[in-house]
Amino acid sequence: MVQTDFISVASKGSKTLHNYTAGSSEELTVTSCCEGDNYDNYHTMTGLLHTGGEINFTVSILPENNGVYLRRALSNAYSPQYAKVYIDGVFAGDFYDAEHNEYLSFGDSDIMLPKMLTAGKDSINIKLCAETKFTDFFYEVYSIK
């Protein structure tokens, strides 16, 4: 796996570079920590809280990939979180996160995007259709070799 892109939702430059757009959303700043061994390591992140609608962005990938792994950083203080995922207009799966934890709220959510939707392309357009409240701080994109 090779990281091929990164989007910081708090960065205007990153959003512009990736054609990031979102419908119904507001800025969200959270001070919290993650579950696990570093549960007492607090930090602050800024992202967006979406209240439905579409989130669109473009990411770079390797054309010779065997699929793409998309990771989203989120706040578990809002649950459940559900969005349908489309790649270049084709349904690819769902982001669904049911966990609720407002004290250790930072988490990651991953989706594997199949090779049949990503192979031979150097970028893909991702559309998320949020069906519930949905949070994002950043996205990491990995091309599977």
Mean pLDDT within 3-23: 96
The residues facing 8 across adjacent strands are 138
Please state whether 49 falls in left (phi above 0), alpha (psi between -120 and 50) or beta: beta
Percentage of the chain lying above the pLDDT 70 cut: 93
Q: Which domain holds residue 129?
A: 2-36+44-143
Percent residues over pLDDT 90 in the chain: 74
Indicate the pLDDT class of residue 17, thresholds 50, 70 and 90.
very high
- Give 12-53 as a DSSP string: HHHHHHTT-EESSEEEEEEEE-BSSTTTT--EEEEEEEE-SE
- List, for residues 24-43, the tens digit of each pLDDT value: 899 999 888 666 666 667 77
Please count the structural domains in the chain: 1
Reported as a single tens digit per residue, the pLDDT across 82-130 is 999 999 999 999 999 888 777 667 888 999 999 999 999 999 999 999 9
Residue 121: what pLDDT? 98
Which residues does residue 70 pair with via DSSP β-bridges, in sequence order?
Answer: 111, 141
Kindly report the CATH number assigned to the domain that includes residue 67: 2.60.120.260
Residue 116, SS3 per DSSP: helix
